[in-house]
Amino acid sequence: MINMSWIIKNWYLVLVVAAILLWLLIDPSREEPNEVADQIMEENNSEMLEEEELVPTEYKIDIKGEIKNPGVYQVTENDRVEDVIHLAGGFSSNADNQMINLAERVYDEMVIYVPAKGENAEEKQQVIDTGNDDQQVKVNIASIEEMQTIPGIGEVKANAIIEYRETYGRFEKLEDLTKVSGIGDKTVEKLEEYVRIP
């Protein structure tokens, strides 16, 4: 047995030992490593998800005509025509660069034709655009007039599609058209053979 006189004599030692034991039992920092590890893992997971979401979509663009290095180039969804022309080495000395909208955003399977000075670029562009025999309207670039050539799309719906596109960006799949006011699932089914996205 422990001698009581020893405890009374060494009360400060007993108090220190008791305090240490109490601290070890109640110490809140012992759980912190797990909480810190969990928090770090959560942050890493959220950063990885954000990085995945930030990876831009890649497009293939065909650039032809009066350009130093014509060909097919891979670019991202955030690029502009100006960026593609830069990748292709720039305009040739005979290029009519006044006919090109350098600020236009690129889209997948886009064809950029740079005409020569004095060439009728609109006629050449129509040949390129209709070179594939499908007469589908490219909803991501079509004008109001072009939209109205789609059966079931009048001026109001054409304006709504263009307004949505300008506000929220490009349509990635046909079903995205249901996000436009006045266009539902049945309308989208009817449009399938007349529209192209992208």
Q: pLDDT tens, 71-101?
A: 999 998 888 999 999 999 999 999 988 878 8
Geometric angle at alpha carbon 121, from 62 and 126, rounded to 5°: 70
Q: Can you list the residues of the chain whose pLDDT is less than 70?
A: 1-2, 27-41, 43-56, 121-134, 198
The confidence score (pLDDT) of residue 126 equals 46
Backbone angles phi, psi at 196, to 5 degrees: -130, 125
Asked if 156 and 99 touch (Cβ cutoff 8 Å), the reply is no
The confidence score (pLDDT) of residue 31 equals 53
* Three-class DSSP category at 104: coil
pTM: 0.45
**Average pLDDT taken over every residue of the chain:** 80
Report the alpha-carbon distance of residue 136 to residue 146 in Å, rounded: 10
The H-or-E segment that residue 196 falls in is strand 195-196
The confidence score (pLDDT) of residue 26 equals 78
Determine the residue type at 172.
Answer: E
Asked if 139 and 133 touch (Cβ cutoff 8 Å), the reply is no
Alpha-helical runs (H) found in 120-172: 121-129, 144-147, 155-168
Residue 58, both tokens: 């890649």
Burial of 13 by CB count in 10 Å (0-12 exposed, 13-18 middle, 19+ buried)?
exposed
